[in-house]
């Protein structure tokens, strides 16, 4: 079970439990509801905020931006490529020793 799955389940349980508690006690579970919603949204936002690093350039119409960085937790250089028609960016792993 991944951390993402655990967070989604925990968020769902807290939200449902908080709603039940709020109904039974006239709002005492609102903190649980808010925490549950945050836990439900965090993995979904993370998926769009942090981009996946790929091993090859997606196609010939992708242009390098000149941006490079070292992949966090590894000693591998990553280059950024840009697709003019769509405005999308992709992060391409350059390989070991190219840092």
pLDDT, one tens digit per residue, over 42-83 is 888 876 666 778 888 888 999 999 999 888 778 889 999 999
Task: State the total domains in the chain.
Answer: 2
Please tell me whether residues 39 and 70 are part of one structural domain: no
The 8-class DSSP code of residue 98 comes to -
Please tell me whether residues 89 and 58 are part of one structural domain: yes
Per-residue confidence (pLDDT) for residue 99, from 0 to 100: 47
Please tell me whether residues 42 and 8 are part of one structural domain: yes
Range of the domain at 18: 3-49
Coil, strand or helix at 57: coil
Please tell me whether residues 44 and 67 are part of one structural domain: no
Please tell me whether residues 9 and 25 are part of one structural domain: yes
Please tell me whether residues 43 and 73 are part of one structural domain: no
Please tell me whether residues 59 and 89 are part of one structural domain: yes
- In order of 26, 33, 60, 69, the CA distances from 37 in angstroms are 19, 6, 42, 34
Per-residue confidence (pLDDT) for residue 52, from 0 to 100: 76
The 8-class DSSP code of residue 55 comes to S
Stated pTM of the model: 0.55
Looking at residues 93-98, what average pLDDT do you find? 68
H or E element that contains 41: helix 30-49
8-17 pLDDT per residue, tens: 999 999 999 9
Looking at residues 15-21, what average pLDDT do you find? 95
Please tell me whether residues 31 and 65 are part of one structural domain: no
Per-residue confidence (pLDDT) for residue 53, from 0 to 100: 82
């Amino acid at each position: 079970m991944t951390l993402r799955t655990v967070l989604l389940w925990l968020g769902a349980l807290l939200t449902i439990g908080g709603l039940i508690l709020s109904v039974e006690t006239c709002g005492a579970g609102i903190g649980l509801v808010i925490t549950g919603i945050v836990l439900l949204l965090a993995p979904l936002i993370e998926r769009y905020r942090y981009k996946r690093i790929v091993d090859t350039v997606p196609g010939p119409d992708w242009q390098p931006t000149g941006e490079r960085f070292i992949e966090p937790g590894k000693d591998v250089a990553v280059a950024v490529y840009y697709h003019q028609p769509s405005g999308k960016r992709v992060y391409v792993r350059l390989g070991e020793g190219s840092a």
